[in-house]
Amino acid sequence: MRKNLTVKDITPAMQASVKAYLMSRAYAEIMREAVDKIEREILKECPLTNDLEINRGKPAREITESKHVYLCDNDDLLQEHYKAVNHRLRAEGLKPDDMPDDYCPALVAEHLQMDAEHLVIESTAEMLGEDDFLHRLICHGMDKYHKFIDLVTGMIVNMPGFECKI
């Protein structure tokens, strides 16, 4: 690994990857919030309950958060729920007409964010002269992975003259 790095060592690829990451992260956060809001509204209108077996013998509870929808044991209700969510997302303009019904716009946006994170890591690893850095970083845990992205992003956005225009 190279030592004594300076601002001059930061490559245009690193700057571009950080810009892509910032935009994809903002988009993913906005999409997640919008999709979860719609799903919570639908859960209020047509509640789902979780499976007694999964709930360890306790009485079934109403599902109020989208992250717990998988606990519903009634496939017919679950399919109706997904149809309602899909319809509302399309009506609100959050899901394009050409996106398949079984795709979630928030998950697609989060996948784009992950791709941008990998670009940040790979462009930085190239500047540092490191091989297989993404794999090694992930093997050290997701906390280190996210901390590395935060450090590189902080370094780039604090450079003189950095702009991230949409």
User: pLDDT digit string (tens) for 17-49?
Assistant: 999 999 999 999 999 999 999 999 999 988 888
Asked if 85 contacts 39 with a C-beta cutoff of 8 angstroms, the reply is: yes
pLDDT of 2 higher than 60: no
Has residue 110 got a pLDDT over 90?
Answer: yes
Count CA atoms within 13 Å of residue 67 on its CB side: 2
DSSP E strands: which ranges in 11-166?
48-49, 62-63
- Cβ-based burial of 131 (10 A; exposed 0-12, middle 13-18, buried ≥19): exposed
- The mean predicted confidence, pLDDT, of the chain is 88
How far apart CA 22 and CA 25 sit, in angstroms, is 5
pTM equals 0.84
65 pLDDT band, cuts 50/70/90, is confident
Give pLDDT, residue 83: 94
Q: What is the dihedral of CA 146, 147, 148, 153, to 10 degrees?
A: 90
pLDDT band at 55 (very low <50, low <70, confident <90, very high): low
Residues 39-66 have a mean pLDDT of: 78
Pick the closest to residue 134 from 151, 121, 143 (CA basis): 121
| pLDDT, tens digit, 9 for 90 and up, residues 127-147 | 888 888 999 999 999 999 999
